[in-house]
Structure 1
């Protein structure tokens, strides 16, 4: 697996397409198709991702197997910690250590940014991901419900990892 930073239009288009594919495959067992469509458009579409990079200071690490984009991780430095906004893999590549490699990339980025904590939000019903994050050392620090518009609520735990 090769990891690189999303730096050009072609990569950004590929990122948005991969995000849509993963969301429609993975989250259908957790939230409705209507909410998936809304959230993909609002947070994972080409315009949303472009805005996140250009205006909101996000960095996206892209994971490739050959020429195929198999997953990605999105991070944003904040005052005291790094926000791990996204970490997704295509179904065929889960359970093979790729998520751990992307997480290590996020940890290295946090250290480079002189941040000693990483936090994320995870849907309360996404038990698989919650278990994986807890196994990696994340712990629950809060629970939140966020109104994201159009009658949809994100019902999440906030998890944090302390970096030595």
Structure 2
């Protein structure tokens, strides 16, 4: 069965995305951040209000369904000469099943179709499996992300030229 992508536009889907983000982020990032800091990050970056603000700023969120099961989400934004893949999260039991690979390939096709020359994303510096996943798809590390508003992001930037 191939996954379906549902564009997040209505309030119902924004809240579904925020709930899923909280669930997945707590699972993924609990080893990298203290609980209170993680809760603050989720509230600031993936709450319903934050997702709605992203959508208002031309970020495209998609829920990923396998049949009737919600299994993940991803988000991207077109920028000058690139597609910025902001989020790609799957529930643990759906990782390693080529779903993430297919989402990345879809984003690359979209970027090419829109005349963009690269896809890029930020990855937590400690998330070695994600870095390996991207390297296996031809992405290269450009080094650490710049801090935003004085906040150190502890991310590495990865890109693939198309």
TM-score by length of 2: 0.91
For structure 2, which runs of at least 5 residues remain unmatched after alignment?
A: none
Maintained 8 Å contact 1:70/1:89:
yes
The list of structure 1 runs, each at least 4 consecutive aligned residues, that deviate by more than 4 angstroms after superposition, is none
SS in 2 for 1:140: strand
Which residue in 2 is equivalent to 1:29? 31
Maintained 8 Å contact 1:6/1:60:
yes
1:92 and 2:93 equivalent? Answer: yes
Give 1:142 deviation, angstroms: 2.6
SS in 2 for 1:10: helix
Maintained 8 Å contact 1:87/1:99:
yes
Taking only aligned residues, the RMSD between alpha carbons, in angstroms, comes to 1.5
Which residue in 1 is equivalent to 2:153? 154
Give 1:42 deviation, angstroms: 0.8
SS in 2 for 1:153: coil
CA distance in 2, matches of 1:155, 1:33: 17
Which residue in 1 is equivalent to 2:113? 112
Which residue in 2 is equivalent to 1:143? 144
Alignment size in residue pairs? 160
TM-score by length of 1: 0.90
Bigger share in strand: 1
CA distance in 2, matches of 1:34, 1:105: 35
Which residue in 1 is equivalent to 2:123? 122
For structure 1, which runs of at least 5 residues remain unmatched after alignment?
A: none
Which residue in 2 is equivalent to 1:66? 67
